Amino acid sequence: MTNNEIKKNIHWVGAVDWNIRDFHGYSVYKGTTYNAFLIMDEKIALVDTVKKTSYSDLLHHIHQLTDPEKIDYLIVNHVEMDHSGCIPEIIELIKPEKVFCSAMGKKTLLSHFHREDWPLEVVKSGQTISLGKKTVHFLETPMLHWPDSMFSYIPEDRLLISSDAFGQHWATSERFDDQVDNAELMAHATKYFANILLLFSPLIQKLLAKVQELNLDIDMIAPDHGLIWRKSPGQIIEAYDKWSRQEASAKAVIIYDSMWHSTTKMAKAILNGLVKEGISTKLMNLKVNHRSDIMTEVLGAKAVIFGSPTLNNGILPSLADIMTYMKGLKPSG
C-alpha cells in the first residue's frame, strides 16, 4: 500500500496548498490540503474535488491510477469552492454517468455553475450506491458547516469520508495521523473546530448521537482538510463530543489592546491575580495574536476578559473586531 492508498483500492488524489496563509479570515500558518478520494471498483468513483487553483494536482494524482475518462461517478459531499472550484473542468473531462449530491448540494451547484445539463442525482440519508465490491452509504449533515454537507461511508472498509468535519488546516507530505506529532495534530484540529464548527455545536451533538444510533463501524476518518485519522479515529470523535458540549474548565483568557501601556498594566495585574488563585490564564495582546488563535484559546474557557483604552468615546477597532468575530461563533461555558 502506497502513502496515497488509504484503503485497498481507495486512494487520496487531493492537493497540498503549502503557501496559503489566510482562509477567509482564518489564519493558516502551515497551509492546508484539499482532500479528494478515488475509489477503484467495477464503477470508479471520485469523492470530492479540489480548489480550482489545484486542479492540475488533482489530475496528476488521478492519472497515476487511471485514465480520468474512466471515472463513472462523482460524489460531491460539499459544494464550498475549495472542494468544488474545478467541478466544471472535471465534469467536462470525465463526463460522469452521475453526480451524486444532497438536495441542497444540487441547488448550490446549479446556483454556482448554472449547468442544467449535468447529470445531478440527489441522495438522502440512508441511501446507498453500489460500485461493485464496495458500497457508499450517504448521511446528510446539514450546516456542518454548509447546508449541502454530507458524509460518505464505505462499510466494507469501515471508512468515513467526513467532508469538512474532523479536519485540520495543515499542509504536510504525510497523509495519516500516526505519521505526525499527535500534540501538534490535535492543536490544529482544536483551532479548526473553534473557528469553523463551534457555532454548530448543538448540531454536532445531534450528529454524534445519530452516528451512534446507526452503529457505524468506523476505523478510519478521512476529512476534506488535513490528516486522515487512521490510528485513532475515536480520539477526534471524543474531542468533538467534548468541544461541542462546551464544558468550561478553570481557565481564563485576557484579550486586550493598548495605546500607551496603561491597559497592558491592568491586564497583567488581572493575570497575576488569577494565577495567584491557581487559575490557568492566557494573556493575549491583539497586536500580536490573530483572532483565530485567540478563539482557539477561548474554546473551553470559563472566563473571557476584555481590555481596551478609550478611543473616540468607544473601544479600539481591534477589540470590536474580535468581539464581533467571537459573537458569531457563540462560545458558551
Catalytic residues: 24, 78, 80, 82, 145, 164, 192, 225
Confidence at 2, pLDDT banded by 50, 70, 90 = low
Say yes or no to pLDDT of 70 above 90. Answer: yes
Q: Cell for 315?
A: 473601544
- pLDDT score, position 12: 99
Mean pLDDT of 83-90: 95
Q: Which residue has the cell 497515476?
A: 64
Percent of the chain whose pLDDT exceeds 90: 94
114 cis-preceded (ω within 30 degrees of 0): no
Say yes or no to pLDDT of 245 above 90. Answer: yes
To 10 degrees, what angle do helices 182-192 and 291-298 make?
100
Helix (H) or strand (E) holding 57: helix 55-63
Say yes or no to pLDDT of 174 above 70. Answer: yes
Say yes or no to pLDDT of 254 above 90. Answer: yes
Q: Which amino acid is at 308?
A: S
Contact 54, 320 (CB under 8 A): no
Measured CA to CA, the distance from residue 221 to residue 224 in angstroms comes to: 10
Q: Are strands 32-34 and 5-7 parallel, antiparallel or unpaired?
A: unpaired
